[in-house]
Amino acid sequence: MALPAPIDHTFILCDPSKEPERAAYLRKWLRDHSISPESYTMELHCYGNTLTMDTVERVYNPWVDRKPVELQRNFNSYNLKLGEISLVLNWAHAAHTAVERGYKVVMILESDVLFNDDFLEALAESMKQLEGREWDFLSLTAGAGLRPPRSPSDGNERKWFPAPYYYHTRTTDAMIFKVSMLEKIHSTLFPFAEVLDWELNYQLTLHKSRSFWLDPPILRQGSGKEYPTTL
C-alpha cells in the first residue's frame, strides 16, 4: 500500500549503513504497515565528512543578503557544522528529485521520527480536511515542543492551524510539501545561510507559503536511545 493521498512519494533522509538503529525502526514500521517500497526512498545524497571546501563555499554563505524578507538570524548561523550543511544538501537533493520526477505532493522525513500508533489513519483523515483548501507546506510534528495556540472552541479535535508568520517549520523531522513550492525554494536556496529549519522559514516566507501545523501532532522526534524500546 502507499501512504495516504495526495502524497505521491516519501523521502526518508536516512542511510541504513550509518544509522542502523534508526533504519531498523523505520524498516520495521514500513514493513508492519505494508508500505510499498515504490512509494518511498530511504537514502542520503552526501555526508558532512565527504564535503569539500569548494562545495561548502559554493552552497553556504552566512552573509548572503536576505532582502526582501526581514533578516532573522539563528545564533549558530555564522558557524554551521559540516553535518548541518550536508542536511540542507540532502533535503535539496530530495526536493530536486521530486521536481524531476513530476510529483505533486511529497513527504520528507528525517531519520529520527517516531510514529504514533494511529499515524496512517490520522494522516489520511487530516489530509482529507485539506480538500478544497489552498496550502503549500504542512508540519506534522511538535518538534521543539512547539504547539499552535488553541481556543476553547477548538476542543481536542485534531485540525490544521495556520503557522505563525515567518515560523513555518517548527522542526524539519516531518514535513509535507506541494512540489510547486519545492521548485520555488530550490531556485533560491543556494547559497543558503542557516540550518535547515531556519533556512526553510526564510524560504517559505520569501515564497509566501500557505503553511499549516497539525495539532495534536501524529509523530515526534526521537533519539537513538529510544529505538530499542520502540521496536
Q: What span, in angstroms and rounded, lies between the C-alpha atoms of 87 and 95?
A: 12
pLDDT score, position 224: 36
Residue 51 domain-assigned (yes or no): yes
Residue 2 domain-assigned (yes or no): no
Residue 4 domain-assigned (yes or no): no
Which pLDDT tens digit goes with each residue over 69-125? 876 776 677 889 999 999 999 999 999 999 999 999 999 999 999 999 999 999 999
Residue 1 domain-assigned (yes or no): no
**Which residue carries 521548485 as its cell?**
183
Q: Which domain holds residue 93?
A: 9-148+156-230
User: Where does the chain have alpha helices with state H?
Assistant: 20-32, 53-59, 82-101, 119-129, 179-188, 196-206, 227-230
CATH number (domain holding residue 37): 3.90.550.10
Which pLDDT tens digit goes with each residue over 11-47? 999 999 999 999 999 999 999 999 999 999 999 999 9
Q: What span, in angstroms and rounded, lies between the C-alpha atoms of 191 and 50?
A: 19
User: Where does 19-108 have alpha helices with state H?
Assistant: 20-32, 53-59, 82-101
Give me the number of domains the chain comprises.
Answer: 1
On the CB side of 69, CA atoms within 13 Å amount to 21
Residue 190 domain-assigned (yes or no): yes
